Amino acid sequence: MGQSHLKLEPIPLKKQKSVTFFEAYQTEEAFSQHVNGSVFQTFLKDFGHEFKQDPQNPGWPITQMAITPKPQDLLEIK
């Protein structure tokens, strides 16, 4: 099968309406370790100014977090 020659260009920041990061963690503790860890803290320091700031949490981008069921806990409906 041949390689795709599709070149994706980033959307200029001024034209962006939203950015979505979807991440999954095994536990709430794992999530907490991530956001308090060096990789995420460096990301915030370097790129946090590019995101709309959360008025309730200065220095952090607006975020939404949801605890979802584990795949094995989901019911299959037929």
pLDDT in tens, 34-53: 999 999 999 999 988 888 88
Taking the alpha carbons at both ends of the chain, their separation in whole angstroms is 36
The number of C-alpha atoms within 13 Å of 48 and in the hemisphere containing its C-beta is: 17
Please give the radius of gyration of the chain, using alpha carbons only, rounded to the nearest integer: 17
User: Across the chain, what does the average pLDDT equal?
Assistant: 80
Structure pTM? 0.58
In terms of pLDDT, which residue wins out, 61 or 72?
Answer: 61
Q: Which two tokens stand for residue 25?
A: 């963690």
